[in-house]
Structure 1
Amino acid sequence: MKKYVQIKGTKDGISIFLSDTASLVELEEGLLQHLKEQQKIVSQDQKLAVQVHIGNRLFTEAEEHSIKSIIQENSVMEVSGFTSNVMSKQDAKKWKEEEQIFSLATIVRSGQIINVPGDLLLVGDVNPGGAIRATGNIFILGNVKGIIHAGFEGDIKAVVTGKFQYPSQIRIADQIHGFDDESSKERIEENILTAYIDDKSELKIDSLHILRKIRPEISNFQGGQ
């Protein structure tokens, strides 16, 4: 049964590797046997964090609980987590939403609120009283006069681009920059600007050109001269 279980020390600490071809019963029996042998050489006053790798499979909550209980009741190791080479449908759906860019060609009118998981590209204007929220970046090819909230679940790496006009308000995570004061009433912005959070956790407004410097991962085009 031991062939289904390997305990190794890595640069990140102790890891337990469980075969993804064995049944749960075979894993439980092999793990129990292996841990009983380990008890003879490991001092009981130690408390060791361990990561459990389960390969190309997924465990249910009950299966994770069973494996975790065997490890923690029969050794001085404490399970810090399970890692797998595959993901659940729910995790895959969330990953897909976060990675894709939603695109819209419309005018966001007063009273409209658009919520998007991931990034959003809007070709059009945002009127006063309109609002856009996205978990990722928001790119607007048009005039911005409403409320734009990028990274609204806390992503401080998110950015907003657009022609920011009065009375717009730009938000990234929990930081806010407004163009809604008296000095902004006569503001006419002809250039697309970039809003981002700098390394001092302050929301900054700069030219579009800064985007390539602060978030190089956004542009991955490799062609051209």
Structure 2
Amino acid sequence: MKKNVQIKGTKDGIVVFLDDEASVSEIETELFERLKEQNQATEKEEKLLVKVQLGNRLFSPEEETRITNIINENSQMQISAFYSDVITKKEAREWKEREQVYSMATIVRSGQVLHVPGDFLLIGDVNPGGQIRANGNVFVLGDIKGIIHAGFEGNKQAVIAGKFLYPSQVRIADKFFGFDSEDYKEIEDTELFSAYISEKNEIVIDEIHKIRKIRPEISNFQGGR
């Protein structure tokens, strides 16, 4: 007879596996019976934290509450979290926003602030006083004279690429590097550079081709010979 409920010890601790093809009522009945049998054979002791694996489905908040009550009331276990192999629409939407590359062809003027949830590609200049904020990476095909803030929500793996000119500022997560001193005032470099946080936890300005070595995950093209 197929078991709809399995309780196993793993390297991550105790996991309760629930068959994703069984109905919730079948799972509740079998879970209650299994726990009642086990509880009679064990002494009362401190609650053990367990994870519940739902497989290829999601439970509603009400269904999670019912499962939680059954486990809490009929065993020495306490649920630490529910896990599923699928994600909600909200999680899928958030994932898409994080992974998406947003692009725009414009000039970011003084006082403007552009904020995107993923990576950002700007074809144009960032004027002094203009600002770009992105939760991911920022790539600018133009002159950067304003503020570029990549990894805005704390992602220290984010990178920035572009032409950094006076009086620009580069920010990644909580780190920043300024080109706003007199030392950079006369520079009119036309080369593209990259900015990233090094192993020493500081922003480094380097040659553009270094990005593929520092952050190889940025390049995902599989074609070519």
**Alignment map for 1:88-107 (pairs within 5 Å):** 88-107=88-107
Query: Aligned equivalents of 1:42 and 1:135: distance in 2?
Result: 50
1:67 corresponds in structure 2 to 67
Structure 1 177/37 Cα, relative in aligned 2: closer, same or farther at 3 Å? same
2:37 corresponds in structure 1 to 37
- How far off its partner does 1:51 sit? 1.4
**Alignment map for 1:78-89 (pairs within 5 Å):** 78-89=78-89
1:170 corresponds in structure 2 to 170
1:150 corresponds in structure 2 to 150
Deviates more, 1:111-120 or 1:54-63: 54-63
- Backbone CA RMSD of aligned residues: 1.8
- How far off its partner does 1:221 sit? 2.3
Unaligned runs of 5+ in 2: none
SS of corresponding position for 2:3: helix
Deviates more, 1:34-43 or 1:109-118: 34-43
- How far off its partner does 1:43 sit? 4.8
Structure 1 122/15 Cα, relative in aligned 2: closer, same or farther at 3 Å? same
1:2/1:30 contact within 8 Å kept: no
Question: Does 2:56 correspond to 1:56?
Answer: yes
Query: Aligned equivalents of 1:69 and 1:214: distance in 2?
Result: 48
Structure 1 138/42 Cα, relative in aligned 2: closer, same or farther at 3 Å? farther
Normalising by structure 1, we get a TM-score of 0.92
1:161/1:192 contact within 8 Å kept: yes
Query: Aligned equivalents of 1:198 and 1:83: distance in 2?
Result: 34
Percent of matched pairs sharing the same residue: 60
1:2/1:33 contact within 8 Å kept: no
Deviates more, 1:42-51 or 1:82-91: 42-51
Structure 1 70/131 Cα, relative in aligned 2: closer, same or farther at 3 Å? same
Query: Aligned equivalents of 1:78 and 1:177: distance in 2?
Result: 48
2:140 corresponds in structure 1 to 140
Query: Aligned equivalents of 2:191 and 2:44: distance in 1?
Result: 66
Normalising by structure 2, we get a TM-score of 0.92
SS of corresponding position for 1:148: strand
